[in-house]
Structure 1
Amino acid sequence: MPPYSLVYTLHLLAALIWVGGMFFAWMVLRPATGTLQAPERLTLWLEVFRRFFVWVWIAVVLLPVSGIGLLHMGFSGFDGAPRYVHVMMGLYLAMLALFLRIQALQLPSMRRAVDAQDWPAAGAVMGRIRRLVAFNLLLGVAVVALAAARPSL
């Protein structure tokens, strides 16, 4: 496999894992957990986040590394890249900021509330996480659509 193809494949897989994971969580897992009682539901979500965020961290690192490689191999650097690539990079930064907010601020609060068995507080934090994930999913879908369309912005 030529180097460009390998880097492009890794880049796509990282995006697929991150955006696909959010889609699964929002569209499938969230509704399915609605019938569980708060202790089981919130404990399950903590375990889901623990496992999924390992993969998100891999994507968070792999996307800019592979993206920079693609910039240099495909466009001879940032200046040669079309505007849609610049927009994709900006959307990545916004998605990263939202992910870091969840990871660093919301998730520890939720974990403390679950450990204290304060289910209303844990549920309130989960609601904030759910809204952040929804917005991040919209950004991720926009990035995927932009990459697929490759507009001449």
Structure 2
Amino acid sequence: MDLINPSPQVFERKDTDRKARTKQELAEDVRDPIDALEIFEHVRDLTDPEHPYTLEQLKVVSEDAITVKDDEGIVSVLFTPTVQHCSMATLIGLSLRVKLMQTLPSRFKVDIAVAPGSHSTEAAVNKQLNDKERVAAALENPNLLEMVNNCLAGSYR
């Protein structure tokens, strides 16, 4: 068998054993905890599916309605639809979930829900938004995925 590079330059492997690292190296590796403001910064510029305004401008999301338990890896976002019978509530919640799935480390569990008393079918919307299979099925629908991507587009500016 003929090799393309019969004599490659070989480098020493990097020591990745955390026990062998110095205290200073470990201290430099400490990360800042994620807080509600950081989560809010990720979702505030999502565009409402019906209007050319952001979720922040419509007061659908706010920093006060976000809870983060960084040490437990849990993020909870409550959002308030603009009207009690909002037909786009599930799409808004799905957009929030997708944005946070894209931006947060995988160690986080994300809970998305409509604020208590803010939607006429609150329990049904919350059930859909926090069921992995339903979320996965929704994201396989090209039309729905396009709508989610349109909501996310504003957050990438």
Q: Which has the larger radius of gyration?
A: 2
TM-score band, normalised by shorter chain? under 0.3
Higher relative contact order (CA 8 A, sep 6+): 1
Higher fraction of helix: 1
Higher fraction of strand: 2
TM-score (norm 1): 0.25
TM-score (norm 2): 0.25
